[in-house]
Every structure is written in C-alpha cells, then in structure tokens.
C-alpha cells in the first residue's frame, strides 16, 4: 500500500454490496456531492446532474428497475446517487464526464468510511435501454439526459476484498505488445 493518501484510497476502495441501515448523514452526502463537483470534464462543461435518493419506496422501485445481479444493495443502502448527464453540454465526452463524477463520489464515500458500488445504467450501444427510461421517468430526469450510473452508498455490513492483477499484466511501454 502507498503512503500517498489518494493512492491509498484508490487501492483500498472496493465495491460493497451490503449495507447497514444506519443514516449516512447530510454532511457526508454533501461531501460526496462536492467530490462530484470537482470531477474533471471536457472543457469544464460539468454536464452532470445528480439525483440524491433517500426515500425507501423510491429505492425499492430502483431495485426493481435495476438489471444488476447484486441489486439487494440498492434497497439496503440509505442513499443512492443517480448520475445523469446532459449530452447537449458536451456531445462527445459526456459518458467519461459522468464516469469521472461517479468515481470521485465512490472514492469520497470510501474516504469517509462508507461503502458503495457502481451500478451501470448507460447502454454503450447508444440505445436507450428500458431500465434507463424507467429510471428517468421515476426520477423526473429530462428525456434528453442520459443516466450513466447509480451509486448506492452506506456503511458496509460486511467487508469485501479482492486483489488486483499486477501492472505488468496490462502495462505496455511505447507500443502495445501481445503477451
């Protein structure tokens, strides 16, 4: 592990799929949103809008809509951040911008002792998946926006550890080399 605090947070962050029912607290929610605010975006377009969902009934509906196998955490987490982006603000990089905001939020949550996991919503084929349209309808997200992710956040009820492959397995110098 690194002694650098940023690298340490990156190395220690893991997807957490089970949460305690404890309230996260508005101060932590605000800090997570602040992390999203400072995410990089193409020419500083900041095309994201984030819906903070705490209502249990709405979380249950998001769980029903979700296509992920590990959707129990959607219901269990005390708060879900739904990241939507406006492609009109940046038609070429909005996916990366929304992904950067989501990652910043996940790292901020981890740094405060919270767990999270990334629920992918955006369909990379460019089509609007039924789940995305249902989420937009449920949360009143404008039609032209794209939902990039949902990030359930809460206090972990169980640890989850998984190692990483060594950098030598995926780093190439000067040119891509088939291994």
Domains of the chain with bracketed CATH = 13-158 (3.40.109.10)
Q: For 10, left (φ over 0), alpha (ψ -120 to 50), or beta?
A: alpha
Would you place residue 14 in the very low, low, confident or very high pLDDT band (cuts 50, 70, 90)? confident
> How much is the pLDDT for 170?
85
Query: Quick one: three-class SS letters along the chain?
Result: CCCCHHHHHHHHCCECCCECCCCCCHHHHHHHHHHHHCCCCHHHCCCEEEEEECCHHHHHHHHHHCCCCCCHHHHHCCEEEEEEECCCCCCCCHHHHHHHHHHHHHHHHHHCCCEECCEECCCCCCCCCHHHHHHHHHHCCCCCCEEEEEEEEECECCCCCCCCCCHHHCCCCCCCCCC
Q: Note the pLDDT tens digit of each residue in 133-147.
A: 999 999 999 999 999
Instruction: Tell me what the mean pLDDT of segment 10-14 comes to.
Output: 78
Closest CA to 15 of 169, 170, 154: 154
Judged against a pLDDT cut of 80, whether residue 23 lies above it is answered with yes
- What is the structure's pLDDT at 30? 98
- Band of pLDDT at residue 126, cut at 50, 70 and 90: low
């Amino acid at each position: 592990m690194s002694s650098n605090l940023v690298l340490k947070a990156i190395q220690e962050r893991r997807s957490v799929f089970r949460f305690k029912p404890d309230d996260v607290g508005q101060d932590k929610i605000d800090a997570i949103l602040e992390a999203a605010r400072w995410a990089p975006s193409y020419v500083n377009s900041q095309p994201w809008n984030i819906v903070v969902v705490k209502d249990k009934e709405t979380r249950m509906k998001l769980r029903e809509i979700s296509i992920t196998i590990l959707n129990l955490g959607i219901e269990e987490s005390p708060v879900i951040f739904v990241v939507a982006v406006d492609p009109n603000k940046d038609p070429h990089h909005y996916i990366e911008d929304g992904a950067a905001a989501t990652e910043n939020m996940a790292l901020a949550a981890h740094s405060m002792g919270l767990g999270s996991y990334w629920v992918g919503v955006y369909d990379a084929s460019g089509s609007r998946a039924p789940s995305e349209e249902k989420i937009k309808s449920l949360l009143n997200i404008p039609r032209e926006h794209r939902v990039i992710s949902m990030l359930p956040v809460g206090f972990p009820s169980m640890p989850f550890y998984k190692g990483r492959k060594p950098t030598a397995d995926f780093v190439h110098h000067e040119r891509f080399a088939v291994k």
